[in-house]
Amino acid sequence: MGGRGASFNIPVARSGGPRTTVGLPNSRRLRSGQLESLKTELLAVLHQQLFPPGSSGQQLIETPEALEGSLLRAKGQDDA
């Protein structure tokens, strides 16, 4: 986010303590394949947080890949 050398923080919830953040480098600093790996891992975590096992949402969006498709479709609607 931003110019050269910029970074962004992602909130991390921890039980029993204050919220902290983990700093991640700008995507231009990631090596080949790291951005795709990061995206896959983030989608998996988001899927687990939004749709716990047995929830009705999990039945509609069964995988992180399905969640990504849903997010991309929603973004396309916003862009229109």
pLDDT greater than 50 at residue 1? no
- The mean pLDDT value for 49-78 works out to 83
Tokens for 67, please give them.
């969640």
CA distance 24 to 35: 11
Residues 73 and 38 in one domain: yes
Element (H, E) at 9: strand 7-12
pLDDT digits (tens, 9 = 90+) for 39-56: 888 888 888 888 888 888
For residue 14, the enclosing domain spans 1-29
The phi and psi torsions of 62 (rounded to 5 degrees) equal: -80, -25
Is the Cβ–Cβ distance between 41 and 34 less than 8 Å?
A: no
pLDDT of residue 15: 66
Residues 8 and 44 in one domain: no
Residues 38 and 76 in one domain: yes
- The mean pLDDT value for 3-13 works out to 59
- The mean pLDDT value for 19-29 works out to 60
